Structure 1
Amino acid sequence: MTRPRICHIATHLGGGIGRALKHLTSNDDNFTHEVISLEETRTHRNIKQLRDSGISIRLLDEIKNAKHFFSTFDILQVEYWNSPRLHLSLSQLSEITARWVFWAHISGLNSPIIPRLLPEMATALVRSWDDTDAKGYYVTSAAGLKSVNVRAYEDRNVDALYVGTLSPAKLHIDFISYLENFFKLGFDRAIVAGDITTDCTLPPKTDYINLSGSLELPGFVQEIDSLYESAKYFLYILNPDHYGSGENALIEAMSAGVVPIVLDNPVEASIVKAAKAGYIIKKPEDLVILENRLLTEEAWPHLSKNAVEYTQANHSGIKTASGFNSVYNKVLCKEKHSLPFNEIFGSQPHQWFLSGRADAEKWRQDCHIGSLARRGDYAVFAETKGSLAHFSHLFPSDDVLKGWYEKSRSLRHGA
């Protein structure tokens, strides 16, 4: 019997989306999967692993007749986040009839939000954060590490670890304050692994050279398992307005027995609460309150064990594939249809940008960008994915985007 065919449309296959697709496709024996990428992927680990498991990956530019090509699939699955390249491509696919599944790789709790009409018009919307009040289906996008070595406390030589983007869109702008309070408890070694970019949350080295402990910045680490195995605590202090949903790094760390310390942000706090496996704080000084617990080794093995057991039970490639199989079977009972992408997202690049903003109407007010700048909103200042800079650079002929971007730059440089 021929298995139904799924085509995934993704901006690229780096980071969490590439890993999520790897978890899904390598554990699904009931559907066949192909991937169309809109951009070249900078890191090739995910691509290699997908291709090694038999998944075809092509660039959209290589497809000569997109309408005919996409019509041959039973389901088209859009790996959705507020990507300017993705919006451009979708605007060109409005005439295609398909069963449209959107996998939201953003939580939608903060900007970027999930556009209001998308859950109503897509054949199915899938979320990676278990929000019982939200529309759509929940399927985990994160999976624990399979071959990781779960070490005892005394066999770990890294006191605190952070893995992920260092952009202020994700990492808390005061991360160093949290780390300094952690060091004050008597810990002395931390590793922060991630690309060091121009808008990095971490200050210049001269600003943290006097920390009480040692901070190592190895940059992007391809083979991350050994870092997880060596760490005692996962200091996952994120921007309260971050857009993440599945939190792959947190799940991977917990699967290695690393005990998480997170802020009281909905996504990561809900994971730690469900696992009963770590600490939830609100400010740097809260680490001092936790001093006796953090420095008492008796508490750590219990939390570490809970973290491992929780990830094994709730976050795996098998769980991801099983969840999507359930969604796919429901979707196959429905007819193919076109989607009015101009109605859902808008027809112009600046409208695509605003479709992901909870404060879309306010962007038409001259004073709004100034108010965002004063509170350090990443959409104005951060040179990160889905930001104003990202959209403006890709669509330089959009005068509205250009005006917003120039104003944000002048505010940033105090002009």
Structure 2
Amino acid sequence: MKILHVAAHLGGGVGKAHSSLVDADALSIRRHYVLLEEPRDTRYAESISHSGAALTIAPDEATLLKLAAAADIVQIEWWNHPRLYRCLCSNDWPLMRSVIWCHISGLAPPLVPPALLTLADRFIFTSGCSLATLSGLDLSPADLRRIGVVNSGFGFPTRQRSKEPPRREGSVSYLGTVSFSKMSRDFFQVVDDAGDSGMLVEIWGMVEDDSEVASVAQAMRHPERIRFMGHAADPARVLETTRIFLYLLKQDHFGTAENALVEAMSYGCAPLVFPNPPELAIVTDGETGFVAENAADAAGRLRWMREHPMETERIGRNAAAHVAATRLPAHSAAAFARIYDDLLASEKRPVDFRAALGSTAADWFMGTQNSTASGQTDWMSLSTTPTKGSLHHFLACCPDDRSLQRLPAVGALSDQAESSHPREAALRALR
């Protein structure tokens, strides 16, 4: 069974998920990955290649379409990356059996374009929380049967864990994206309000000295309670020495399967989270972690967790058992094998991405954004933060697409960056 995967790259959570899936695959499945850009983080691409999957980076159009025609199934690793949009909408694809695995939640911008849900033979979310996006859509029973969920966040294998993790009593860590594009702005207030003179919160992840996160941490009443640790070369070692995983994210963050959270739970860390849908799909309050309603609640719960180590340890054990029972790569590999087997019984058919998603970069970007009740775009709500899939990113990747230059938000973006050329502003922001 030949599966062709088309992805912008294999970094971060997407790369980690596929690295695990390839290792868990049945021998009957042969995977070939096409990456649309050179990976900056090559760990997962190299791991996938070493596991026996084929890898092609930035192929020309003829090579890509030939691979698609030869595959039994074409799987699109979807999130709102401008290069992926261009690839899908600028090519005339051969007949194919198609699966879309969606790596964003769609609960807040970037949204999932509704036409995408029924375009492929199967549309698969990575978290059950995303099923809420179907509410209010005009979907037939047949459409709904084509939509499913396959988890992409996995814990560390049991064999990698120490029998008795050398945890530091009362230790608190965060590991993940160190940016307010993901973290809650209340994170540091919680630490200020919950702490005592002995509390230290280690933050693992890349952060610039002049970043907004670093500035907010420095402005705390007790900045000595925060220590920026930088990139975690060995996340497993960090997690097995941590008792409390402080994972307080913003309400409309872009995550879905939350790899860092699942990995922390697999190591027996007791998580403290806010009640965002992706986290609620993973953590059960009082059983496998704690869910705080707001910053004041989180501060109180964090204080309680440090003062009650035995109860917190019990929660961590529950978390590890839950992940081991529900979030292993073998579970997701088996789910995909069933989807593939089912699709092989059907004929290949045409898929017109251009008709569903549009033909210009402005079409692609605006298809993921909110509109007001009148149907007009709320330009003031568009993020001016240079994150993946943002307007900055589209300007950087699609410099020759004039449709972007006509968007009202581009002028404001250019002014904000003190540049007369929007693309240059975007490129500087993304470096």
TM-score, with structure 1 as normaliser: 0.89
Equivalent residue runs for 1:34-49 within 5 Å: 34-49=32-47
| 1:203 counterpart residue number | 214
Does the 8 A contact of 2:81 with 2:389 survive in 1? yes
In structure 1, what is the Cα distance between the partners aligned to 2:128 and 2:217? 41
In structure 1, what is the Cα distance between the partners aligned to 2:372 and 2:399? 20
Q: Deviations over 1:270-296 (max 9, x none)?
A: 211189211111222113432334411
Q: What 5-or-longer segments of structure 2 have no aligned partner?
A: 135-143, 419-431
| 1:391 counterpart residue number | 394
Alignment partner of 2:243 out of 228, 232, 238: 232
Report whether the alignment pairs 1:405 with 2:417.
no
Equivalent residue runs for 1:14-29 within 5 Å: 14-29=11-26
In structure 1, what is the Cα distance between the partners aligned to 2:282 and 2:30? 31
Report whether the alignment pairs 1:155 with 2:173.
no
TM-aligned CA distance change 1:391 to 1:191, over 3 Å: same
| Helix, strand or coil at the partner of 2:265 | helix
Report whether the alignment pairs 1:269 with 2:280.
yes
| 2:85 counterpart residue number | 87
In structure 2, what is the Cα distance between the partners aligned to 1:198 and 1:120? 45
Matching residue's letter, 1:393 = A
| 2:356 counterpart residue number | 344
TM-aligned CA distance change 1:198 to 1:211, over 3 Å: closer
1:67 to partner: Cα distance: 2.2
Q: Deviations over 1:128-159 (max 9, x none)?
A: 1024555511111011111133656x732672
| 2:71 counterpart residue number | 73
In structure 2, what is the Cα distance between the partners aligned to 1:197 and 1:352? 31
Report whether the alignment pairs 1:10 with 2:7.
yes
TM-aligned CA distance change 1:25 to 1:206, over 3 Å: closer
TM-aligned CA distance change 1:234 to 1:151, over 3 Å: farther
Does the 8 A contact of 2:90 with 2:354 survive in 1? no
TM-aligned CA distance change 1:411 to 1:267, over 3 Å: same
Matching residue's letter, 2:57 = L
| 1:376 counterpart residue number | none
1:412 to partner: Cα distance: 7.5
Q: Deviations over 1:95-119 (max 9, x none)?
A: 3221110000011111111110112
| 1:375 counterpart residue number | none
1:363 to partner: Cα distance: 8.9
Equivalent residue runs for 1:207-356 within 5 Å: 207-208=218-219, 211=222, 213-273=224-284, 276-290=287-301, 291-356=303-368
Does the 8 A contact of 1:159 with 1:189 survive in 2? yes
Q: Deviations over 1:240-295 (max 9, x none)?
A: 11121111110000001111010010110221118921111122211343233441
TM-aligned CA distance change 1:51 to 1:361, over 3 Å: farther
Matching residue's letter, 1:148 = R
Q: Deviations over 1:70-113 (max 9, x none)?
A: 10000000110000010011113333221110000011111111
Matching residue's letter, 1:391 = F
TM-aligned CA distance change 1:193 to 1:288, over 3 Å: closer
| 2:103 counterpart residue number | 105
Matching residue's letter, 1:410 = D
Matching residue's letter, 1:387 = S
Q: Deviations over 1:346-379 (max 9, x none)?
A: 11001101121233898955xx323x2xxxxxx5
Alignment partner of 2:188 out of 160, 169, 176: 176
Q: Which has the higher contact order (CA 8 A, sep 6+)?
A: 1
Which sits farther off after the overlay, 385-394 or 86-95? 86-95
| Helix, strand or coil at the partner of 1:273 | coil
Matching residue's letter, 1:171 = M
Q: Deviations over 1:219-241 (max 9, x none)?
A: 22232111111111111111111
**Matched residues, number:** 400
TM-aligned CA distance change 1:340 to 1:293, over 3 Å: same
Matching residue's letter, 1:352 = W
Does the 8 A contact of 1:150 with 1:256 survive in 2? no
In structure 1, what is the Cα distance between the partners aligned to 2:371 and 2:208? 27
Q: How much identity, in percent, do the aligned residues show?
A: 26
1:213 to partner: Cα distance: 4.1
